[in-house]
């Protein structure tokens, strides 16, 4: 609890602003003004002033003209730009400080940390205890018996003990520690090559840099014996940087000779927030207004905020308020500045106060408005908090909201992103380009490396078989261009036609009567677009469509607006339609409604697809998608915090091409095995259905049997006829969770659950696998399911291709569909029988590498429980050890030890997933009383675990989110939760910490493994690196074919041995009707234009056919497990390398252990 009795409380103000902005999910009022930072700030003000009456409270601010930059010009030069929504809130927050009359301190030339150090020194000299509100580790050097740090975000007090636990050194050694390790976030060099462990080791022997270097000079060999020769060499090589770093990290604690702390004493009778109640009302902070009792007051509304060129400003039409607009950020050497009526700063006389410092709310001098403070200090501050603001307001908008490259563009970007008066209004202009010359003139005018948003329109969602009929692109945030090339005439008089007539038109319609781009030109245009950085919403799908239709793929950076939306709030809807409404209140039609409006529903065997949509309608629909992706990406990117930007850069974006590769690798199945398995499952289903009818009283009776697959009929039988309990189930649902709760009431319930398990496996796997492999077998070389496989390969015809969803879960786990290969149980015999049909191709084996007990290891890591940590370090059987702790050491010799171990295992894993006594009782089939007894015994032996889990629940409820190892967050809205929902949120939150962190680790491992084995599809500017970099190699520009390597897929060849996707679906008449000459026809049908072009592909190409002699493929990810197909003679060697990568991907407090299994089929891997 944040409560300090008669102390000096020093607040790292702008540090808190940043933390608050990133800690809360993106918040806006109804006018679109961002409020995340301001909401967090108001909460801080309320809490600290309510709970700390009589304490001295001072807000420290950043000074301009940072003197550390005079010492080292590259100090903090690596900081990235701050989000525009953050910049808009800063002047408002500083203005609030003034209006509330709170004490602030800013010293020119120095940072807020120096102000804190100085005030801390003076406060201790006057006998005060000091509490610093900050999360900045740079302040750890100030900690002592009179000074602590309070991390407001984590509700955690940081003392000397915490400093030692986290860094291994005491606060008095922290300056030397930082001098050695440096600080990448501040661009402080330190001693290159010496990390945290090395620094701790150095400080065990030498307490200062002088002692270290003097000892090396006096007796080098002795120091080498202590630290190692390499370490000494590194230390000597970085001597200057070490002392420079010390000067940079040392806070100045002697900037003032004296300070009257009692002037800052908290003597407010009511919350100071009442002084800014009108502003809170304007920003629609109703909860805060209610908390301070201002919701019932008649408040005069402040002038409304509107969005100007450089930010949100007060209404200039209101004569009571002077307009202040952030048109540019400039540095000034004067002690204070003010604005004239043209908003230009003019020098003022220096402050009369001694000591070279000024306080913005001081009557004797200072800044006239908070906007002046931001104007004069933002450059230095933002540089210190991840910012580099441009002086020109147009550059400011472009650099913070998109980093656009097109210098020739007009203000269209601003229309959607920042400078419209109505910021919620999404506007765009759609253009149809069905002329070749206009298309290439436009594409040629786009500067190199300009980011282009792209979206393809198709006849369906199966990218392996459906056709691309057109595409759209956008490169300025306002204009969208739709390019059709495979549209057919719209079906006229649709409502008057018979079903037979409509289906005949669909089957026989040609594209020759539609004015559009030829397929050849469409391909060339796409190749040109794909040399640019690309944005799309679900870019994996669009890349797959382009790849499977044309055999082309991006050669530059890829960016996904859907992934950004998911990172910001993984539990929310992230479709384009939902996001456009959420951020712009723009309503759009989804695809199904569009098609239904054009072609009302009829019972047709073959329905009209997007190629039958008129070009005018397709233009509006298609162009919107690419414009929306462009605008949303830049808006959402500006809302990402530093941690999520790192997650996007290092994990989620590199994962996209890896998933594309996995999807196209597929996995072999034994078709004959599934043919034989099918009747066995049918016999089981019939037997179970008859048993259900018998148990429910329908067998042998005159009444007709009910459909066991009908939830409605089953509900009628269970709850109306058999009168089973509906407690907690008022809607009489037959969902599994409700059936398990009443399983003991009637034997039919257990049989029904068993039937559903068998039916699910039958309908989800056996039937689809036989259907898909039969389709592949009958569609040789027609791009259905064997597009990437050799026609001579039996395995390729029996290969199944799942799709991986990167944003399909709120925890961060990957999910799988069509079919879902992550959901085949490994524990049941039925699940194993399905897995047995997934096999390695001839000459290869399947290899599984699975993290062992990863969630429990994460529990040990996060909680720091010494018992768990010791057990994992000793490689103990954690479940057996837990069983002995709960039930006693003597159980090991009993005949029931396996039962006790199973109970302990259920508790160990169940607690991570928020399992209570009721669920444990169901799992173990014991009484709820007994289950509670087991849990109580567990926590009695492991109280630290209990306290940790409880602290996490409290933290989740207080913060409104759970956070993973890599700082991804899952948000929960407790304000709308009843007790049942609240408990559910807490269970999901705790689960997210462990399951989400495990997802972080497996994704990181996947990227490192693919990099190591040349399976990653990363950018490369060096053709020599193609082999190791894979699909997205940045090799040669398609614009210069003469410069291409001979093996490059875009290189021309006369070979027409194999045909691409379009050649499989279109006739010779189609080719001629599309105005292609013979040369064009050969180009379209050439194997180089399609991924089935085996002979033309380089041997290393990730889409090389089954005939290629590949060594290893990553096939599947099943949560904590990776499954590879490896050449048989390389399996042992490769799996050991993969194991090493997975176990060293991240250093936890306990070792990561990876299990290896090698077999010919999937079931045998376990």
Secondary structure of 827-847 as H, E, C letters: CCHHHHHHHCCEECCCCEEEE
pTM: 0.62
Which two three-digit tokens encode residue 36? 């995340």
Between the two ends of the chain, the Cα-to-Cα distance in Å is 49
Q: Evaluate whether 105 touches 357 at the Cβ level (below 8 Å).
A: yes
User: Where are the strands (E) in 780-896, listed by range?
Assistant: 799-800, 803-805, 815-817, 838-839, 844-851
d(CA 323, CA 307): 12
Which CATH architecture describes the domain 668-800? Up-down Bundle (1.20)
pLDDT given for residue 1065 in this prediction: 31
Task: Work out the angle at residue 924's Cα, subtended by the Cα atoms of residues 921 and 926, and round it to the nearest 5 degrees.
Answer: 55
SS3 at position 314: strand
Class of 428-640 in CATH: alpha beta
SS3 at position 573: coil
Instruction: Out of 3.40.50.10470, 3.40.50.720, 1.10.150.20, 3.30.70.120, select the CATH number for domain 855-979.
Output: 1.10.150.20
Find the helix packing angle between 196-205 and 220-227, rounded to 10°: 130
DSSP 721: I
Q: Evaluate whether 350 touches 42 at the Cβ level (below 8 Å).
A: no
Kindly list the domain boundaries of the chain, sorted by start residue. Answer: 428-640, 668-800, 855-979
d(CA 402, CA 934): 56
Look-up of token digits 């697809």? 609
Of 966, 956, 1001, 967, nearest in space to 857 by CA: 1001
pLDDT given for residue 301 in this prediction: 55
pLDDT given for residue 100 in this prediction: 93
Tell me the average confidence (pLDDT) per consecutive run of 10 residues in the chain, 1166 residues long.
66 88 77 87 91 92 87 77 81 92 92 95 93 93 94 86 90 94 87 90 92 92 91 93 94 93 90 92 89 70 44 37 28 27 30 33 37 47 38 30 31 40 69 95 93 94 89 94 93 78 81 88 96 97 94 94 96 92 85 79 78 90 94 93 92 96 94 95 95 85 78 92 89 89 91 94 94 64 40 63 94 93 89 95 96 95 92 92 85 80 88 81 85 88 88 89 94 85 91 95 96 65 30 32 34 32 35 34 31 32 49 95 97 97 96 96 91
Question: Which residues partner with 969 through β-bridges?
Answer: 963
In 10 A of CB 617, how many CB atoms?
14
What order do you get walking across the sheet with 156-158 strand by strand? 156-158, 147-151, 130-133, 8-12, 56-61, 104-107, 357-358
Of 306, 12, 285, nearest in space to 131 by CA: 12
Q: Evaluate whether 656 touches 560 at the Cβ level (below 8 Å).
A: yes
d(CA 33, CA 84): 11
Does residue 58 have a cis peptide bond before it, meaning omega lies within 30 degrees of 0? no
Q: What are the angstrom distances between the C-alpha of 795 and each of 205, 776, 790, 816, 1040?
A: 63, 11, 9, 22, 38
Buried b (16+ CB within 10 A) or exposed e, 69-100: beebeebbeebebbbbbbbbbbbbbbbbbbbb
- Structural element, H or E, at residue 566: helix 561-568
SS3 at position 962: strand
Of 12, 23, 13, 14, nearest in space to 642 by CA: 23
pLDDT given for residue 775 in this prediction: 56
d(CA 350, CA 522): 66
Pairing verdict, β 468-474 and 104-107: unpaired
Which residues have C-beta within 8 Å of that of residue 1052, sequence separation ≥ 6? 1041, 1083, 1086, 1088
- Structural element, H or E, at residue 970: strand 969-971
DSSP 2: -
d(CA 611, CA 158): 63
Q: What are the angstrom distances between the C-alpha of 266 and each of 54, 258, 343?
A: 5, 20, 35
Which two three-digit tokens encode residue 232? 């000494």
d(CA 142, CA 1112): 54
Q: Evaluate whether 816 touches 497 at the Cβ level (below 8 Å).
A: no
Domains 428-640 and 855-979 share a fold: no
Q: Evaluate whether 474 touches 452 at the Cβ level (below 8 Å).
A: yes
Side-chain half-sphere exposure of 322, counting CA atoms within 13 A: 12
């Amino acid at each position: 609890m944040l409560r300090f009795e008669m102390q000096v409380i020093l607040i790292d103000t702008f540090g808190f602003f940043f933390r608050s902005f990133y800690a809360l999910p993106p918040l806006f009022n109804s006018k679109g003004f961002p409020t995340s930072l301001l909401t967090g700030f108001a909460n801080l003000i309320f809490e600290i002033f309510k709970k700390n009456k009589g304490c001295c409270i001072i807000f420290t601010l950043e000074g301009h003209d940072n003197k550390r930059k005079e010492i080292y010009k590259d100090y903090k030069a690596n900081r990235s730009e701050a989000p525009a929504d953050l910049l808009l809130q800063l002047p408002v927050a500083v203005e609030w400080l003034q209006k509330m009359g709170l004490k602030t301190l800013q010293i020119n030339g120095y940072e807020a940390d120096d102000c804190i150090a100085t005030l801390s020194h003076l406060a201790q000299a006057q006998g005060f205890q000091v509490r610093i509100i900050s999360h900045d580790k740079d302040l750890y050097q100030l900690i002592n018996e009179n000074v602590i740090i309070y991390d407001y975000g984590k509700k955690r007090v940081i003392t000397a003990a915490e400093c030692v636990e986290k860094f291994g050194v005491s606060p008095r050694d922290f300056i030397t520690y930082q001098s050695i390790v440096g600080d990448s976030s501040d661009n402080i060099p330190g001693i290159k090559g010496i990390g945290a462990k090395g620094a701790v080791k150095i400080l065990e022997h030498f307490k200062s840099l002088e002692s270290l270097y003097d000892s090396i000079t006096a007796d080098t060999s002795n120091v080498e014996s202590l630290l190692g020769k390499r370490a000494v060499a590194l230390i000597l090589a970085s001597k200057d940087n070490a002392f420079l770093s010390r000067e940079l990290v040392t806070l100045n604690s002697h900037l003032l000779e004296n300070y009257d702390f009692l002037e800052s004493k908290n003597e407010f009778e009511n919350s100071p927030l009442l002084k800014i109640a009108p502003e809170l009302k304007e920003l629609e902070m109703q909860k805060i207004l209610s908390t301070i009792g201002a919701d019932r007051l008649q408040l005069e509304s402040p002038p409304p905020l509107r969005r100007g060129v450089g930010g949100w400003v007060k209404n200039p039409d209101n004569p009571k308020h002077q307009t202040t607009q952030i048109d540019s950020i400039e540095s000034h050497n004067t002690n204070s500045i003010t604005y004239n009526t043209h908003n230009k700063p003019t020098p003022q006389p220096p402050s009369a106060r001694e000591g070279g410092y000024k306080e913005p709310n001081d009557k004797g001098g200072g800044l006239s408005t908070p906007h002046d403070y931001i104007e004069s200090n933002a450059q230095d501050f933002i540089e210190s908090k991840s910012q580099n603001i441009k002086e020109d307001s147009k550059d400011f908008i472009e650099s913070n909201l998109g980093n656009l490259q097109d210098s020739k563009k007009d203000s269209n970007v601003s229309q959607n992103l920042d400078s419209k008066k109505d910021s919620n209004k999404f506007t765009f202009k759609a253009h149809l380009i069905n002329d070749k010359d206009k298309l290439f003139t436009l594409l040629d005018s786009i500067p190199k490396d300009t980011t282009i948003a792209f979206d393809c329109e198709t006849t369906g969602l199966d990218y392996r078989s459906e056709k691309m009929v057109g595409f759209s692109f956008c490169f300025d945030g306002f204009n969208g261009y739709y390019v059709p090339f495979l549209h057919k005439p719209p079906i006229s008089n649709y409502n008057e036609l018979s079903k037979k007539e409509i289906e005949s038109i669909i089957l026989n319609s040609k594209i020759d009567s539609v004015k559009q781009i030829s397929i050849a030109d469409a391909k060339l245009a796409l190749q040109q677009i794909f040399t640019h950085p690309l944005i799309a919403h679900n870019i994996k799908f669009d890349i797959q469509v382009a790849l499977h239709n044309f055999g082309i793929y991006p050669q530059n950076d890829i960016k996904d607006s859907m992934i950004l939306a998911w990172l910001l709030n993984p539990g929310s809807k992230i479709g384009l339609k939902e996001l456009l409404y959420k951020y712009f209140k723009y309503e759009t039609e989804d695809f199904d409604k569009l098609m239904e409006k054009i072609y009302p529903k009829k019972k047709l065997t073959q329905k009209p697809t997007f190629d039958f949509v008129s070009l005018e309608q397709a233009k509006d629909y298609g162009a919107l998608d690419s414009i929306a992706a462009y605008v949303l990406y830049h808006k959402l990117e500006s809302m990402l915090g530093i941690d999520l930007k790192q997650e996007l850069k290092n994990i989620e974006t590199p994962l996209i091409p890896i998933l594309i590769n996995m999807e196209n690798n597929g996995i072999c199945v034994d078709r004959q095995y599934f043919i034989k398995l099918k009747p066995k499952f049918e016999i089981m289903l019939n037997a179970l259905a008859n048993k259900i009818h018998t148990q429910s009283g329908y067998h042998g009776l005159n009444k007709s049997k009910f459909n066991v697959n009908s939830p409605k009929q089953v509900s009628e039988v269970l709850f109306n006829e058999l009168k089973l309990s509906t407690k907690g189930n008022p809607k009489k649902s037959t969902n599994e969770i409700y059936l398990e709760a009443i399983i003991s009431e009637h034997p039919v319930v257990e049989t029904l659950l068993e039937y559903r398990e068998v039916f699910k496996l039958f309908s989800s796997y056996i039937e689809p696998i036989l259907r898909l492999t039969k389709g592949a077998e009958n569609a040789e070389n027609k791009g259905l399911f064997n597009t990437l496989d050799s026609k001579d390969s039996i395995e390729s015809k029996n290969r199944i291709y799942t799709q991986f969803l990167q944003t399909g879960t709120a925890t961060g786990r990957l999910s799988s569909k069509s079919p879902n290969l992550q959901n085949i149980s490994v524990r049941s015999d039925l699940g194993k029988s399905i897995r047995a049909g997934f096999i390695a191709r001839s000459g290869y084996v399947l290899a599984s590498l699975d993290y062992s007990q990863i969630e429990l290891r994460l529990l040990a890591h996060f909680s720091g429980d010494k018992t768990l940590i010791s057990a994992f370090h000793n490689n103990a059987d954690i479940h057996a050890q837990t069983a002995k702790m709960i039930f006693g050491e003597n159980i090991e010799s009993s005949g029931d030890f396996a039962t006790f171990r199973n109970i302990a295992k259920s508790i160990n894993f169940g607690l991570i997933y928020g399992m209570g006594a009721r669920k444990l009782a169901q799992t173990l089939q014991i009484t709820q009383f007994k289950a509670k007894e087991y849990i109580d015994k567990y926590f009695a032996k492991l109280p630290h675990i209990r306290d940790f889990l409880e602290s996490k629940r409290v933290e989740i409820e207080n913060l409104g989110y759970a956070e993973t190892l890599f700082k991804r967050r899952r948000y929960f809205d407790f304000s709308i939760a009843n007790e049942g929902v609240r408990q559910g949120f807490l269970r999901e939150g705790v689960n997210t910490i462990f399951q989400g962190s495990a997802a972080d680790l497996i994704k990181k491992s996947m990227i490192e493994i693919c990099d190591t084995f040349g399976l990653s599809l990363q950018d490369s500017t060096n053709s020599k690196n193609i082999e190791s970099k894979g699909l997205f190699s940045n090799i040669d520009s398609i614009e210069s074919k003469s410069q291409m390597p001979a093996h490059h897929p875009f290189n021309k060849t006369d070979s027409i041995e194999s045909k691409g996707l379009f050649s499989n679906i279109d006739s010779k008449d189609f080719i001629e009707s599309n105005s292609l000459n013979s040369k064009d026809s050969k180009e379209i049908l050439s194997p180089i234009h399609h991924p089935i072009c085996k002979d033309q592909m380089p041997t290393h190409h990730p889409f090389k056919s089954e005939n290629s002699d590949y060594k290893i493929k990553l096939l599947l990810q099943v949560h904590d497990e990776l499954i590879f197909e490896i050449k048989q003679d390389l399996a042992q060697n490769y799996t050991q390398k993969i194991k090493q990568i997975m176990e060293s991907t991240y250093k936890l407090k306990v070792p990561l252990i990876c299990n290896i299994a090698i077999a010919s089929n999937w079931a045998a891997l376990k």
